Amino acid sequence: MNCANHPDIPAAAFCRSCGKPLCETCKRPAQGTIYCEEHVPAPSVSTPAAVAAAPAIPAHPAQGPVDLSASPGLAFTLGLIPGVGAIYNGQYAKGLVHAIIFGLLVSIVSSDYAGGLEPLFGILIACWEFYMAMEAYHTARKRRAGEQVDEFSSLFNLQGRGSRVPMGAVLLILLGILLLLNTTDIIPLQRVLRYWPVLLIVFGVYLLFLRLTGGGRTSSTAAEANPEVRHDQ
């Protein structure tokens, strides 16, 4: 196949957007792949797009300062105390969230809200305990290796940066409505909490929806990027 603009020169690469064959003089490398003259992104646009894409693609971690004082072993030990492991890594908001979730789980077990599910929540507490420790351990290792650690790098994406659905805000509103109904004695929380398996169903449907609409952007873009890189070799 020959170049679209120069029919006598063999194509060296293909545009990522339109698939047009391009020779060495027509190809416009940008953001690690090849584009044609029309589809090459403007440099001013490409910089914020690359910055926005960086947290979503774990394969290319941004380089942070190498912190050799971060000890993974100490982080693991401190991580057994709720929130302290994250605070050791300098992630104060995450430490607060860890401690609050730990406290919530303990409160559920000690109240009568669990409704016979105390063993399940007891095991959840144990899992959460070791999750916090392992999370602190891996964050400390990342800091030693000089990889950029985000405040909520491994915690689930509350900001909803990757998705178009603002999960944090919606969850906050739903929680507020639920607790308001409880405190005003319109619908007691015990009656609502009996329907907790609905959460599993909703989460499953949400995951299904993501898969069917191609919402798993990070994995698909990473898979797309590799063949594109191979094009120009």
Q: Which two tokens stand for residue 134?
A: 């392992």
Which residue is listed with tokens 């957007």? 17
CB of 217 to other proteins, least distance (A): 7
Residue 126 or 170: the one with the smaller Cβ distance to other proteins is 170
Q: Does residue 205 belong to the site contacting other proteins (CB under 8 A)?
A: no
Q: To the nearest whole angstrom, how small is the minimum distance from the Cβ of residue 16 to other proteins? A: 8
Does 170 participate in binding other proteins (rule CB under 8 A)?
yes
d(CA 28, CA 50): 17
Minimum distance from residue 55 beta carbon to other proteins (Å): 9
- How does 147-177 read in b/e, with b if 16+ C-beta sit within 10 Å? bebbebbbbeeeeeeeeeeeeeeeeeeeeee
85: number of Cβ within 10 Å: 27
For residues 16 and 31, give the distance between their C-alpha atoms in angstroms, rounded to a whole number. Answer: 11
Q: Is 42 near other proteins (CB under 8 A)?
A: no
Q: Are 150 and 55 in contact (CB under 8 A)?
A: yes
Near other proteins by CB under 8 A: residue from 173, 198, 205, 207 = 173
Cα separation, 59 vs 159, whole angstroms: 21
Q: Does 62 bind other proteins (CB under 8 A)?
A: no
Neighbour tally for 70: CB within 10 Å: 20
Q: Is position 230 an interface residue for other proteins (rule: CB under 8 A)?
A: no
Q: Which is nearer to other proteins, 24 or 224 (CB)?
A: 224
Number of chain residues interacting with other proteins (CB under 8 A): 32
Options 96, 127, 145, 175; binder of other proteins; rule CB under 8 A: 175
Asked if residue 166 binds other proteins (CB under 8 A), the reply is: yes
Binding site for other proteins (CB under 8 A): 31, 45, 48-49, 52-53, 56, 160-164, 166, 168-180, 182-184, 217, 221, 224
